[in-house]
Structure 1
Amino acid sequence: MTQQTKTVKVQLVRSPIGCKEDHRATVRGLGLRKVNSVRELQDTPAVRGMINKIDYLVRIV
């Protein structure tokens, strides 16, 4: 029996220009570069916390 790691796809839908510096750092920490870029990340509490912090900039696909 194999264990599957849960993932979550995150898309950057707004530009972080004009946002707080730590919010911009969070966007970069998630690996998002340009608007509409998508990353598939492991669904961990740390990643969920980062997504919640910048929820107004991203969308879960």
Structure 2
Amino acid sequence: MSKKVKIKQIKSTIKRLESQKRTLEALGLRKIGMEVEHELSPSINGMINKVKHLVSINEIK
């Protein structure tokens, strides 16, 4: 079974690149404080790395 992570948006998308805004939207994050859970996969990992300065990541056990 793959690991699950909880991703929380902690910073705004104002004055960010359009690609970063779309990446957050693809992760399911629209507002500051929103949290989503995803199973860790190469695609999710790549999206997290692209916006790591805008989100916090916690591993779910």
Q: Percent identity, aligned pairs only?
A: 38
Superposition TM-score, scaled by structure 1 size:
0.89
Q: 1:10 aligns with which of 1, 7, 28?
A: 7
State the SS of the aligned residue for 2:16. Answer: coil
RMSD in angstroms over aligned alpha carbons? 0.9
Q: 1:48 aligns with which of 42, 45, 48?
A: 45
Gaps of 5+ in 2: none
Q: Which is richer in strand?
A: 2
Structure 1 residue runs of 4 or more that deviate by more than 2 Å after TM superposition: none
For 2:19, the equivalent position in structure 1 comes to 22
Larger Rg computed on CA atoms: 1
Deviations along 1:4-27, whole A, 9 cap, x unmatched? 342110000001111000000000
Aligned length: 58
Gaps of 5+ in 1: none
